A and B are shown apart, each in its own frame.
Chain A
Amino acid sequence: MLKDVLNEFKLFGFKLGFWFAQQGSMYVFVVLIFIYVRLMNKLDKKYGYDK
C-alpha cells in the first residue's frame, strides 16, 4: 500500500516496499505474537489465573 513511497528508499539492495512485502511483514507477525504471549502471561499472573 505504501509500496510506491517506500520503494523510493533503499536498504542495501532491497527496495523498501518490496522488502516489507516479502520479508518485513512476516517478521512483524512473529514479534506481534510473542508480545501478545508475554502480555497475556503477565495478565494471567496479575489475576492469579496462572495455576
Chain B
Amino acid sequence: MINSILLTQALTVQTWTYILVGITFSLYIGIAIWARAGSTKEFYVAGGGVSPLANGMATAADWMSAASFISMAGIISFAGYDGAVYLMGWTGGYVLLALLLSPYLRKFGKFTVPDFIGDRYYSNTARFVGVICALLVSFTYVAGQMRGVGLVFSRFLEVDINTGVVIGMLIVLFYAVLGGMKGITYTQVAQYCVLIFAFMVPAIFISIQMTGNPIPQLGFGSELADDSGTYLLDKLDGLSTDLGFAEYTEGSKSLMDVFAITLALMVGTAGLPHVIVRFFTVKRVKDARKSAGIALLLIVILYSTAPAVAAFARTNMIETISNQPYTTVPEWFKKWETTGLITFKDKNNDGLIQYVADKNKNELVVDNDIMVLANPEIAELPNWVIALVAAGALAAALSTAAGLLLVISASVSHDLIKKMINPKISEKNELVAARLSSIVAVCVAGYFGINPPGFVAATVALAFGLAAASFFPAIILGIFYKRMNKEGAIAGMIVGIVTMLYYMLKYKLGWFDDVLPNKSEWWFGISPEGFGSVAMLLNFIVSISIMKLTPEPPKEVQEIVELIRIPSGAGEATH
C-alpha cells in the first residue's frame, strides 16, 4: 500500500498520460475489432438495433466535442454571464430534436440526412444540395476536432503537434473504417464514460478544495472554504471589478444578440447531420424519443458542471498569477507559454504580472482553450488527475471526429454513389466505397488539422450557422407541411446556406474588405455567431413563397408524409 502511494507520487504527468491514453486507446481498438461491420446497414446505422441507453450515451459522446470539453468552460470563464448562450443553445437543441425531429425521421427510416431530403423531395437535385450542405458542415467541424487532438498530444506528451494529429487520425481511421456506425456507436459509449469521468473528477476535487462542497453545481454557489463567509461568486465579482472587468455574473451582450445566438445554436444543434443520424440507429420510434432524453440528461451532467469549473478556474487563475512576480510563476505557466497559448509581456517593466481589462496596461493573454486543461494544474491536483483530463479531451475529440467522418463517408458512398451515380452497385461494393471514402475523409481532416486554415477559430460557429440555415427548415417543413415541394425546399436551402456563408466571410473573416468590418455594421446588431437564426428565417420565407408558386408534390409523397406522423410500424431502415 505504501509502495503504491510512493509509486503514484513518483510518476510524472507525462508517464501517467502515456498510461491512461494507452489504456483508453487499446479499449477503443478492442471494441472496434469486436464490433466489425459486415453489411451496409451495420456500417450506416449499426443495424438499427441499438438500445436507447447505449444510443443516448453514444449521442452524448458524439455531440460533446473538443469544443464542449476543452473550450466551453474556458469561454464561460472569460465571458461570465454571457457564456450562458452556449449552455442554453447547445442543450436546448435537444428539446427541438426530441419533439420535432428524431421520432419522425426514425419513422421515415433512412440512412442519412441527404437521403431523407432526396426522398422526401423526390428529387436528386435536392439530394445533391443536401450532400453538399452535409459535407460543408461536417468538414468545417471535423477540422477543429483534429486540431484539438493535436493540441492535447503536443502539450501532455510533448510531441510535435503534427505528430499528435497523425496519431489521432490513425486511431479514428482504424475504428471508423473497420466498424462503421456499429464500431463507432460502441466506442462512443466507452468514450462517454471516459470523458465524463475525466471532466467530473477534477471538478469535484477543486470544488472540495475551494468550497468544501463535493458537488460542483452547488459548490460554485457556496461559501469559500477559508471561513471568511464570503460566497465564491461574490468574491469573483469583486476580483473582476477590481481588475476593471465587468462583474462576472452580469452580461454585456445585447438582448437581441443573445436571443439570436441562442436560437442559432439550438436550431444548429438540431440540424447537425451527425447528431440526427444517431437516431436512425434505434429500433423503434419510441426509442428515438427516449434516447434523445437520455442523451440530453447525460450531456447536462457535463454542461451544468462547466459553469462551475469556469468560475473556479477564473478565481484560481486570478488569485495565483495576478500581480505576482514573473520569476516565481508555477511550472504550468511556463509550459503553456511554450505552446504560445499563454503570452506575457512586461509592459511597465516591474516584473509583476498585471492582468487587467484595460488593453494598454494588460500584460497577460490567456487562450480560452487552456482553462480546462490547465485547471487541475493551477489547483495543484495530483498528476494522475491531470493526465486523466488529457485522456478525456482526446475521447471527446475522437468520438466527435468519428461521428462526422461517418456522415461524410455515408453521404459520398450512399447518396452520391449509390443513389445518384451507380444505383446498381452491389452491397459489397458499396461497403468498400464507404470504407474508401472514410479513408479519404480522414486524410482531408488530418490535412486541415495540420495546416489549419485561418478560420479554425470560427469553424464551430460556422458549422452551426450552416446547419441551421440549410437543414433545419427543409427537415421541419418536410415533416410537418404536406404541401411542401422540391422547388421550395431546394431554393430555401441554397438561399439559406449562401446568405450564411456570405455573412460569415464578410463579418467574421473580413474577406470582402481590407479590414474586418466593425460591429456597428452588423445587420440588426446580430453577430456572425447568431446570424444562423436570420439565415434560417430567410430559408423558411423563401421555401414557402416559392412553394406557393409551384405545383404540389405528387400524391405518393403526400401520403408518406401523413404516415410519418403515425409512430407504429416503423420498419427496418431501407434503401
- Which A residues have a C-beta under 8 Å from some C-beta of B? 1, 3, 7, 11-15, 18-19, 21-23, 25-27, 29-30, 32-34, 36-37, 40-41, 44, 48-51
Contacts and interface: CB of A to CB of B under 8 A. Distances in A.
A21 B258 CA distance: 11
A40 to B, nearest CB: 6
B81 interface: yes
A13 B251 contact: no
Contact of B293 (A21, A34, A49, A51): A34
Given A29-B92, A30-B297, A40 B289 contact: yes
Nearest to B566: A49
A22 B87 contact: yes
A13 B220 CA distance: 8
A48 B277 CA distance: 28
Contacts of A48: 568
Contact of A13 (B91, B233, B568): B233
Given A14-B233, A33-B98, A50-B286, A26 B91 contact: yes
A23 B217 contact: yes
Q: Interface majority SS on A: helix, strand, loop or mixed?
A: helix
Range of interface residues on chain B?
Answer: 35 or more
A34 B95 CA distance: 10
Given A26-B300, A29-B300, A30-B297, A13 B87 contact: no
Interface string B82-96: 011001100110110
B296 A33 contact: yes
A48 B568 CA distance: 9
B167 interface: no
9 contacts: A13-B222, A13-B231, A18-B233, A21-B88, A25-B84, A26-B300, A30-B297, A33-B293, A50-B568
Interface string B535-575: 00000000000000000000000000000001110000000
B286 A41 contact: yes
A13 B234 contact: yes
A13 B222 CA distance: 5
B233 A33 contact: no
Contacts of A25: 84, 87-88, 91-92
